[in-house]
A and B are shown apart, each in its own frame.
Chain A
């Protein structure tokens, strides 16, 4: 009898252990798959890691701001805002004019922001109005809105500029005198206006980040003294930070190319600032109202929250942030195609945030940043991995697109699957939430 009970409990423990492992796997399967895939890709491609780190740093600093601009509409229950394309158009318009006036560097960037903001707000207002009339279909409306305004954008910059809107600039305007040229070159102007404001070597940034991290861990530890679980976390966090610092020092000592990589600190600060702002914003009255509206429009309306107005504000904020994000994107790219650069902004930003684990109804800063990192890692690694695998340049390219879209599809499938699995494992899911 006794032996039986013993067996029973040990089996139970095993089950619990297994459940927690499988719970962890289900909860993070997307991330796990991505990391595995990226590692496999890196291995196969035999890619130079300096190149990878360099590229991922510039891609992350280029795109994070844009992807973060998607969060607020999701919270307000409006889904993924495909209409950020309009914000990008506002940014491009601002950049074109600032380039025309010849304001360069950081002042130029500030001027762009000053110009783009009112335009983005106006566009955001219009979009918000439209979305209020198409509740429940914001995403498809946003996509079509993008197409629609592309027509207007063409009209303005191809037919009006140089004609009705005077612009006398040989470099920007077509030789016929009407219409902006297809490529706008920012070299010597806005290029790196923000990125090069303040840069530090990657290793230095790592050391600083490590020190700050340690300070934070110590602060947390002191604040919550006594809890044994905290102890483990503290040690873990502390170890991570020390590892970062040691690693940075090792890189420095090795004289590897990685130590030459420099980080655009100003851009990163802007991104960090946005993250802080979003976090703070959600705690404000307006942010709380947005969450309420996002949770249940009807209840919000009954509670006296002006739902339509809140939704418009959400879209306007997203639009303004997107226009700033696109300015950051453009100043890093250094040149853009006048009639095409804005097109893909929506789809790729949305893809990135989805991969980070966000859904149409839930998105967090962490998901956005993780998404940018994973999405772009895949895009960096996949082309050469494909080439190495097939030994044929174009098959590699096709393979890359197949993997990229396929992975996004699988990611979505896995998120949905995860949701199902979690509902089947209520105990674990609950434990995870806490």
Chain B
């Protein structure tokens, strides 16, 4: 034992119902170290973290093999409580927050400071009352450590995601014995500037001697802050490298298992197509993404990117035009006025939409893949259906054939066209969404956050597909929080700030220009506070 490790995992193996999902994982973690774990979706990162955190799902399915040592002592972690008392904290990918509680209540969740009450003297601890004064003080302290200026008694519901994330972190650092802190894809939901804030906070925590396990897809972030990097693929540990000894390209290669080249920009620039979509004074009442008085023109055959910080309204544009949220203003499609607030009309005019809320709006989770692919076209264009006078019946044969074709074309990994969509991975679900949008044969395709929550391989395929469609003549309007992604495929990029277009840039414009437009107004101030 040359070095003193805070946490060690030795030959950890886990299988569900006979399928091995993790095999012989070894991991060493020192105090103050930031250790990144990267891997595609399904590589076993989440399972590993669930084991470490003693989640019930592990133990109700037969536990795990191997050994976990904490400060050199073997530990059997069988419940989250036990993990917490062993000094392991976790910042979950899905926020473990209660929206109707204040930040304080969330930070002190199940660790409330108590004081005696009239009844507690008879009935024990459970009837002690909460001591809000000292709870607020603790919460303040934790927030201050992270340099967050928000009031501790604010209700969590309605806060920007960034603050929610910090609330989670504050909760972990408020724990007195915290030694290891696990971040499960913390930046997936954050806008870029928020993510930068988060990374800074992580560094600060590491400097205080807390060991950090950092799970992510974003390799550039890894390179920015991690000390050591472990790559998982298909449940196996592929490599552990110190940061200095590796590069983004190598990591990507290790993760995907095949050579990855940088996304090629398209060459056939569309500079002067006619205006296919003209948006005038558009306002959309989408909670959290309000658009107010936005003007924008889209040329035929281009890929237009819409970027901007979270909450500034970029997501609202597509949602408003597609009639999903109440909107007002004038939208001309090919010079014709589009009736707003009517999804059917939008689809009829040749618009299609890949929603950012895949599971909520994008899919019929409990229906088959084939039904998900054809339903929009079936309902709006009358395809895949046989008519008998006033009656109609599904054309099962045509649907099956078409679905098989799309599955093959888009490489949707599934057991067959009748599989239920809920059982697919995020990337494959996204492909099903794309297949459905394509089935509509749209002139204009709106794409919102097409790569969110998708692993690198699938991400690339999605973007490639978009480019290919564009080359076939489809106009694409792509909204994304990842500027790099926009810059890699778009012809022009509109930055939306405060519900309107702050400016339109070319993808080759300098970072400074993008930065200025995005942070143009008070947003920058707020976030750095």
Contact = CB atoms under 8 A, between A and B. Distances in A.
Q: Are any A and B Cβ atoms less than 8 Å apart in their complex? A: yes
A275 B201 CA distance: 46
A302 B54 CA distance: 10
Contact of B98 (A283, A285, A292): A292
Interface stretch (A100-108, A174-182, A293-301): A293-301
Interface in B90-107: 90, 92, 96-101, 105
Given A285-B128, A299-B96, A304 B114 contact: no
A195 interface: no
A296 B109 CA distance: 12
Nearest to B285: A426
Contact of B127 (A286, A292, A295): A286
A284 B120 contact: yes
B80 interface: yes
Interface in A251-295: 280-281, 283-286, 288-289, 292, 295
Contacts of B97: 299
A285 B111 CA distance: 10
Nearest to A296: B98
Nearest to A310: B126
A62 to B, nearest CB: 27
B98 A280 contact: no
A285 B92 contact: no
Contact of A305 (B56, B110, B114): B110
Contact residue range for chain A?
10 to 19
B130 A304 contact: no
A302 B92 contact: yes
Contacts of A222: none
B10 interface: no
Contacts of A1: none
Contact of A285 (B105, B112, B118): B112
B98 A299 contact: yes
A283 B129 CA distance: 5
A232 interface: no
Contacts of B81: 304
Interface string B496-513: 000000000000000000
A292 B120 contact: no
Contacts of A285: 112, 114, 125-130
Contacts of A299: 96-98, 109
A301 B80 contact: yes
Given A299-B96, A299-B98, A304-B80, A283 B130 contact: yes
A7 interface: no
Interface of B is mostly: loop
A292 B99 CA distance: 10
Interface string B414-458: 000000000000000000000000000000000000000000000
A285 B119 CA distance: 12
B110 A304 contact: yes
A284 B56 CA distance: 27
Interface string B237-274: 00000000000000000000000000000000000000
Contact of A304 (B84, B120, B126, B129): B84
A304 B96 CA distance: 12
B134 interface: no
Given A280-B129, A305-B110, 13 more contacts: A284-B129, A285-B112, A286-B127, A292-B101, A292-B109, A295-B101, A296-B98, A299-B97, A300-B109, A300-B110, A301-B80, A304-B81, A304-B84
Interface of B: 55-56, 79-81, 84, 90, 92, 96-101, 105, 109-110, 112, 114, 117-120, 125-130
A284 B120 CA distance: 9
Nearest to A284: B127
A314 to B, nearest CB: 12
A292 B128 contact: no
20 contacts: A280-B117, A280-B129, A283-B129, A284-B126, A284-B127, A285-B125, A285-B130, A286-B126, A286-B127, A288-B105, A289-B110, A292-B98, A292-B109, A295-B101, A298-B96, A301-B80, A302-B80, A303-B80, A304-B80, A304-B84
Contacts of B56: 301
A303 B109 contact: yes
A399 to B, nearest CB: 42
B110 A303 contact: yes
B110 A292 contact: yes
A280 B119 contact: yes
A275 to B, nearest CB: 15
Interface in A365-418: none
Contacts of A292: 98, 101, 109-110
A299 B156 CA distance: 14
B327 to A, nearest CB: 14
A71 B188 CA distance: 39
Query: Which of B101, B109, B130 neighbours the largest number of chain A CB atoms within 10 Å of its CB?
Result: B109
A292 B92 CA distance: 18
A295 B112 contact: no
Give the top 6 A-B pairs by smallest Cβ distance, nearest first.
A304-B81, A286-B126, A303-B110, A303-B109, A295-B98, A299-B96
B96 A288 contact: no
A80 B15 CA distance: 40
A257 B91 CA distance: 67
Nearest to A313: B126
A303 B108 CA distance: 9
Contacts of A280: 117-119, 129
Interface string A71-107: 0000000000000000000000000000000000000
